[in-house]
Amino acid sequence: MRDRKKIFLLDDDHSNLVIAEETLKDFSHVTSFTEPYKLLKKIKTQSPDIIISDLMMPEMDGIELLKKTKCINPKIIFVVLTANSDRRLKTKAMREGADGYLFKPLNIKTFQSEINFIIKNVKKGSL
Taking the domains of the chain in order of start, what are their residue ranges? 5-124
**Is 69 within 8 Å of 40 (Cβ atoms)?**
yes
Q: Return left, alpha or beta for 125; rule: phi > 0 is left, psi -120 to 50 is alpha, else beta.
A: left
What is the distance between the alpha carbons of residues 55 and 66, in angstroms, rounded to a whole number? Answer: 10
Confidence label for 10 from pLDDT (cuts 50, 70 and 90): very high
What pLDDT, on a 0 to 100 scale, did the predictor assign at position 37?
95
Query: Cα–Cα distance between 119 and 127 in angstroms, integer?
Result: 10
pLDDT for the residue 124: 54
For domain 5-124, give the CATH superfamily: Response regulator (3.40.50.2300)
Global pTM exceeds 0.85: yes
Strand 100-103: give its sheet, edge to edge: 28-33, 5-10, 50-54, 77-82, 100-103
Each residue's pLDDT tens digit, 82-114? 988 888 999 999 999 999 999 988 888 888 888
User: In the chain, what are the helix, strand and coil shares in percent, each to the nearest 5?
Assistant: 45, 20, 35
CB-CB contact of 2 with 28 (8 Å):
no
- 79, 51 Cβ separation under 8 angstroms: yes
